[in-house]
């Protein structure tokens, strides 16, 4: 008979139904899950040995996680990768109306990684503990965010959580990530150029850009002979030049 609460000690990550991820995200999650199932692999040892322990003298050392703790750490990292933007590493989700991205809080990630809380069995302290481990190891970066409200007081907002390149290097996928980001940047630049030149209309609608529309040919105005100046009025530039040349020729005796 299993001990009470033993089913909540190590919780594996469950893929959401009907959700597909980019190829690199799929590959990263699969390597994390493989490390959780093979605790003696190099990746599993690197993940389990990243727990810092701060002593009273100010120095820190590393201790090794137990197998269930390492599995829960892998579950949290998998949930963060599943909710991360591949281009920036931002752990967020796009809003339905196409506006700004909605940042994931630690409570959201706790529910997406381990499911609902179980009274007297599991709480959000597990997520906070493994999040500190990931931050200390440099796999996750957190940027605190504050915003001034209408009363002029600063209010804390959900921090920016970013999957760092160090985690991708640990998984052996950093070079592929760089190639994918370059390709997406190049494609985005080409799309902007096409939209600017009118080759591809925004929002999938065929529109003709103002720059691509044919400009009607405007006939050049007919050249007319300059009018003779009135008595005492200014002369045309050609007449002034001819008079100046005639004066020079007279001085030279020509």
- For the residues of 43-85, what is the DSSP string, one character each? HHHHHHT-EEEE-TTS-EEEEPPPHHHHHHHHHHHHHHHHTB-
H-helix segments, 100-236: 106-114, 125-137, 165-170, 174-197
pLDDT of residue 24: 93
User: How many angstroms separate the CA atoms of 253 and 247, rounded?
Assistant: 10
pLDDT of residue 228: 56
In sequence order, the 6+-apart residues with CB closer than 8 A to the CB of 176 are 24, 27
Could you report the per-residue pLDDT of 88-122, keeping only the tens digit for each? Answer: 899 988 777 666 778 888 889 999 888 888 776 77
pLDDT of residue 60: 61
Kindly give the parts of the chain with pLDDT less than 70. Answer: 1-8, 52-62, 97-99, 120, 199-241, 244, 251-254
H-helix segments, 162-236: 165-170, 174-197
Q: Is the pTM of this model over 0.75?
A: no
**Both tokens of residue 141?**
């970066």
pLDDT of residue 76: 93
- Residue 247 bridge partners (DSSP): none
Closest CA to 109 of 86, 142, 137, 138: 142
Strand ranges inside 22-95, DSSP E: 51-54, 60-63, 92-94
pLDDT of residue 20: 86
pLDDT of residue 190: 84
pLDDT of residue 6: 47
pLDDT of residue 152: 79
pLDDT of residue 171: 94
Q: Do the Cβ atoms of 169 and 190 come closer than 8 Å?
A: no
């Amino acid at each position: 008979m299993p001990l009470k609460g033993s089913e909540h000690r190590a919780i594996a990550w469950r893929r959401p139904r009907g959700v597909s991820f980019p190829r690199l995200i799929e590959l990263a999650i699969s390597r994390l899950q493989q490390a959780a199932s093979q605790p003696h692999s190099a990746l599993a040892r690197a993940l389990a040995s990243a727990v810092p322990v701060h002593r009273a003298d100010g120095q820190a050392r590393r201790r090794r996680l137990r197998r269930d703790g390492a599995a829960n750490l892998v579950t949290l990292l998998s949930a963060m990768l599943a909710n991360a933007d591949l281009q920036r590493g931002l752990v967020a989700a796009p809003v339905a109306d196409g506006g700004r991205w909605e940042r994931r809080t630690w409570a959201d990630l706790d529910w997406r990684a381990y499911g609902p809380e179980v009274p007297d069995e599991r709480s959000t302290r597990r997520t906070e503990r493994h999040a500190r481990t990931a931050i200390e190891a440099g796999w996750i970066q957190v940027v605190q965010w504050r915003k001034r409200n209408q009363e002029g007081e600063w209010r804390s907002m959900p921090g920016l959580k970013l999957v760092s390149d160090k985690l991708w290097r640990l998984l052996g996928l950093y070079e592929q990530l760089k190639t994918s980001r370059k390709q997406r940047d190049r494609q985005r630049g080409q799309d902007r150029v096409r939209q600017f030149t009118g080759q591809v209309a925004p929002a999938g609608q065929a529109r003709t850009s103002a720059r691509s529309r044919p400009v009607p040919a405007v006939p050049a105005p007919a050249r007319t002979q300059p009018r003779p100046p009135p008595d005492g009025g200014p002369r045309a530039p050609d007449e002034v030049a001819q008079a100046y040349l005639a004066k020079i020729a007279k001085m030279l005796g020509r």
